[in-house]
Amino acid sequence: MIEILIYILAAISGLVIAGFAVHMFIGGLVAPNTEYQLIALVCFLIACAIGYMVWDVVERRKGTK
């Protein structure tokens, strides 16, 4: 159970850091609306990658992969 909480905490912190990194790289260089869209896009891509990793761990633990 504690393992799941650690994974969730790592996933959330990864998304926050990714969003902040985009803000630090392009903040002030583009319009705020564009910045928000890029942050959303990057966070979506990171969330997809995290989702894939979760799926892979579940499959490996089931023994089907």
* pLDDT tens by residue, 1-35: 688 898 899 999 999 999 999 999 998 899 999 99
Residue 59 to residue 53: CA distance in whole angstroms: 10
Residue 13 to residue 54: CA distance in whole angstroms: 16
Q: Please count the structural domains in the chain.
A: 1
Domain interval for residue 39:
2-62
Look up residue 62 and give its two tokens: 């089931």
For the whole model, what pTM was predicted? Answer: 0.82
Question: Of the candidates 14, 1, 19, 21, which has an alpha carbon nearest to the alpha carbon of residue 53?
Answer: 14
Q: Which long-range contacts (CB under 8 A, 24 or more apart) does 19-23 make?
A: 19/43
**Within its chain, how far is the Cα of 50 from the centroid?**
6
